[in-house]
């Protein structure tokens, strides 16, 4: 059976040593209720839950899958009890406002608890995750009455939430959705249409499901400026808060898919279901973006969790597996062969995964900290700066962290040789489950468009310039004994700065340029970000005694020598321009010659 031991020492190092979390919390009156000891206790409790409850359900959940029968969905054996335990432990509301029953914990901390759940059971994690996202959107845009009605029940786990955007003909382009919202004349709306791919659209974990649905009123402006957001509960809620009659909304079927099989992905039919407007008509997309930004960082965490799970299992396997002899001579003369850990290529694969995990974890905590500033700070300038940073880094947190995690899990699978392809070891499920993270919440290609377009060209590179300035300020102050990471990071910053200018100029001449350069640009900014994270890690570790800290420096060196050189390749590809892509006619793609 696959193993998982929560990497608590690494998590504590990132929080306490790299980001001085306690100091940050204590300096902020809205977070002063939290200290390092409490944060560590929370992580330790989550580690127990992940190791003892969700990990054992990962494989059985995959084999049994969610089931659709007689118009309703059931989750695999054990999920209901696990969800109840999770809810009773207060985990759904860990980051939610105390006013609604939450524990008001900062994102810097919740990204780490989320990582453990994603590592041990991504299918399970998606159920509470969607609830939390729905809660966030309601908290930001709902009326006081809506918050009072829905938030406490969502955070207690009595009810759950969904996000209903996608339709059969409309995924990335939400401007063309067809779901209708007709005014009933009493302030409510009648919602009619079909949504597909709805995570947790139906299940047996909670007594009610609160769907957040994008739809268009009959006289709405065309395109994305005519989208409104509605609450459509599975069961209507009476004035006293009790559950009323069944609303005509329900699953038509569930998808049979590559991975996350225990997560119910539903086709949802809305047959004149009663809906309640959230915020104002035609302003639904902004509200939905609150939810999506939250989910996008979470998808990055899904990547990190899977990659950590893959690393631990591959490293254990590599220690036990005996094949061949070391190039430097026999290492285990009493055994028929040396462990495969003696081979440089096996080490390369494991270190790729480990470097990815440690940089991803630091980056997730860093983005979490920026989100915490936007939520908890009282300093308007700091909030604006953090908002800009979150806008810039959200597509990187989503797309770069899931792309690198996917590659990392492939490396981990390769460590197993043929056994990585066999179900028993858990690697093939890990990869199947992870693949979706690059697709949903906006494909990684579309995330790259967002980064290069709205977040870079549109603001004339202002966000990235501010980020690079922060990186330079930090890196320039590093001591000379960290020159290896200091020089590498400063060079990377200069290269990204130059290529950004190049893109801004080229895009003025050629509207296709950005589209062709987007993914490579996102990876270039991702590599710079990881270099920055390793600079912070190295700075935190360098004066501390012990192997744990020395290994942090070693891994930073590995990153500089073996991973960061990919930046040059990415930049070369960005500069190649779009002509090689646009030179073919549309017919070329479908004509067989």
Q: Is 123 in the site for ligand FAD (CB under 6 A)?
A: no
Q: Which stretch binds ligand FAD (CB under 6 A): 313-321, 338-346, 433-441, 526-534?
A: 433-441
* Cα separation values, 368 from 296, 365, 387, 411, Å: 12, 5, 12, 27
Q: Round to whole Å and give the CA distance between 401 and 390.
A: 15
Q: Is 198 in the site for ligand FAD (CB under 6 A)?
A: yes
Task: Give the interface size with ligand FAD as a residue count (CB under 6 A).
Answer: 20
The nearer residue to ligand FAD, 161 or 226, going by C-beta atoms, is: 161
Contact indicator for 324, 343 with CB cutoff of 8 Å: yes
Q: Which is catalytic among the residues 358, 428, 441, 497?
A: 441
DSSP string of 273-307, one letter each residue: EEEEEESSTT-HHHHHHHHHHHHHHHHHHHHHHHH
Q: Is 488 in the site for ligand FAD (CB under 6 A)?
A: no
Q: State the binding string over 447-476 for ligand FAD (x if CB under 6 A, else -).
A: --x---------------------------
Q: Round to whole Å and give the CA distance between 422 and 502.
A: 46
Positive or negative torsion for Cα 432, 438, 443, 444? negative
Q: Is 174 in the site for ligand FAD (CB under 6 A)?
A: no
Q: Which position among 440, 521, 532, 549 is part of the footprint of ligand FAD (CB under 6 A)?
A: 440
Q: Is 288 in the site for ligand FAD (CB under 6 A)?
A: no
Q: Which position among 252, 445, 554, 577 is part of the footprint of ligand FAD (CB under 6 A)?
A: 445
3-class secondary-structure state, position 200: coil
Q: Which position among 2, 93, 152, 171 is part of the footprint of ligand FAD (CB under 6 A)?
A: 171
* Residue 358 a catalytic site member: no
What is the end-to-end Cα distance of the chain in Å, rounded? 49
Return the residues of window 388-417 that contact ligand FAD according to CB under 6 A: none
The nearer residue to ligand FAD, 176 or 576, going by C-beta atoms, is: 176
The nearer residue to ligand FAD, 18 or 165, going by C-beta atoms, is: 165
The nearer residue to ligand FAD, 47 or 452, going by C-beta atoms, is: 452
* Residues making up the chain, counted from first to last: 593
Q: Which stretch binds ligand FAD (CB under 6 A): 2-10, 75-83, 164-172, 481-489?
A: 164-172
Q: Is 65 in the site for ligand FAD (CB under 6 A)?
A: no
DSSP string of 484-536, one letter each residue: HHHHHHHHHHHHHHHHHHHHHHHHHH-TTHHHHHHHHHHHHHHHHHHHHHHHH
Q: Which stretch binds ligand FAD (CB under 6 A): 141-149, 306-314, 380-388, 437-445?
A: 437-445
The nearer residue to ligand FAD, 439 or 465, going by C-beta atoms, is: 439
The nearer residue to ligand FAD, 109 or 249, going by C-beta atoms, is: 249
Strand partners, 277: 230
DSSP string of 32-55, one letter each residue: TT--HHHHHHHHHHHHHHIIIIIT
Closest by Cα among 557, 535, 551 to 479? 535
Contact indicator for 356, 411 with CB cutoff of 8 Å: no
Q: Which position among 42, 213, 355, 436 is part of the footprint of ligand FAD (CB under 6 A)?
A: 436
Q: Is 257 in the site for ligand FAD (CB under 6 A)?
A: yes
**Residue written as token pair 């040789």:** 417
Q: Is 165 in the site for ligand FAD (CB under 6 A)?
A: yes
Q: Round to whole Å and give the CA distance between 216 and 550.
A: 57
Residues forming the active site: 441
Contacts with ligand FAD, residue ranges (CB under 6 A): 163-166, 171-172, 197-199, 257, 265, 436, 439-443, 445-446, 449
């Amino acid at each position: 059976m696959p193993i998982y031991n929560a990497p608590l020492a690494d998590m504590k190092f990132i929080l306490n040593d790299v980001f001085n979390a306690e100091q940050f919390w204590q300096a902020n009156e809205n977070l002063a209720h939290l200290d390092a000891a409490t944060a560590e206790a929370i992580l330790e409790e989550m580690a127990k839950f992940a190791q003892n409850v969700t990990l054992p359900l990962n494989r059985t959940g995959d084999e049994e899958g969610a089931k659709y029968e007689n118009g309703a969905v059931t989750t695999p054996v054990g999920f209901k009890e696990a969800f109840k335990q999770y809810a009773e432990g207060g985990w759904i509301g860990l980051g939610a406002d105390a006013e609604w029953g939450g524990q008001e914990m900062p994102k810097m901390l919740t990204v780490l608890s989320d990582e453990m759940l994603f590592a041990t059971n991504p299918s399970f994690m998606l159920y509470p995750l969607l609830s939390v996202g729905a809660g966030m959107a309601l908290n930001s845009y709902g009326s006081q009455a809506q918050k009072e009605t829905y938030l406490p029940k969502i955070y207690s786990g009595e009810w759950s939430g969904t996000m209903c955007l996608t339709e059969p003909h409309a995924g990335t382009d939400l401007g063309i959705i067809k779901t209708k919202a007709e005014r009933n004349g009493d302030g409510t709306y009648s919602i009619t249409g079909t949504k597909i791919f709805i995570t947790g659209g139906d299940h047996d974990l909670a007594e009610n499901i609160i769907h957040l649905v994008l739809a268009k009123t009959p006289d709405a402006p065309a395109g994305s400026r005519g989208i409104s957001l509605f609450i459509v509960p599975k069961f209507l809620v009476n004035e006293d808060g009790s559950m009323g009659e069944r609303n005509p909304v329900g699953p038509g079927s569930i998808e049979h898919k590559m991975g996350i099989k225990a997560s119910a992905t539903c086709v949802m039919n809305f047959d004149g279901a009663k809906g309640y407007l959230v915020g104002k008509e035609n302003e639904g997309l902004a509200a939905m973006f609150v939810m999506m930004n939250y989910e996008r960082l979470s998808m990055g965490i899904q990547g990190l969790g899977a990659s950590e799970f893959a690393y631990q299992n591959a490293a254990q396997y590599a220690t036990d597996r005996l094949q061949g002899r070391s190039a430097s001579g026999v290492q285990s003369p009493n055994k028929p062969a040396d462990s495969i850990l003696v081979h440089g290529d096996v080490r390369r694969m494991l270190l790729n995964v480990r470097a990815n995990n440690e940089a991803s974890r630091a980056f997730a905590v860093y983005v979490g900290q920026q989100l915490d500033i936007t939520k908890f700070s009282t300093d308007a300038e700091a909030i604006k700066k953090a908002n800009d940073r979150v806008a810039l880094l959200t597509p990187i947190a989503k797309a770069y962290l899931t792309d690198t995690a996917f590659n990392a899990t492939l490396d981990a699978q390769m460590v197993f040789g043929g056994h990585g392809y066999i179900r028993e070891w858990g690697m093939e499920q890990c990869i199947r489950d992870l693949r979706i993270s690059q697709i949903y919440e906006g494909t990684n290609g579309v995330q790259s468009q967002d980064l290069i377009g709205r977040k870079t060209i549109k603001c004339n590179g202002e966000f990235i310039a501010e980020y690079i300035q922060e990186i330079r300020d930090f890196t320039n102050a590093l001591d000379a004994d960290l020159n290896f990471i200091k020089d590498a990071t400063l060079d990377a910053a200069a290269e990204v700065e130059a290529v950004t200018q190049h893109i801004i100029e080229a895009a003025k001449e050629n509207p296709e340029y950005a589209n062709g350069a987007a993914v490579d640009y996102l990876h270039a900014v991702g590599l710079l970000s990881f270099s920055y994270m390793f600079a912070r890690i190295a700075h935190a570790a360098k004066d501390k005694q012990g192997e744990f800290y020395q290994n942090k420096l070693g891994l930073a060196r590995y990153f500089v020598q073996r991973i960061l050189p990919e930046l040059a390749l990415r930049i070369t590809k960005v500069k190649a321009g779009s002509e090689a892509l646009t030179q073919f006619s549309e017919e070329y793609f479908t004509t067989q010659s």
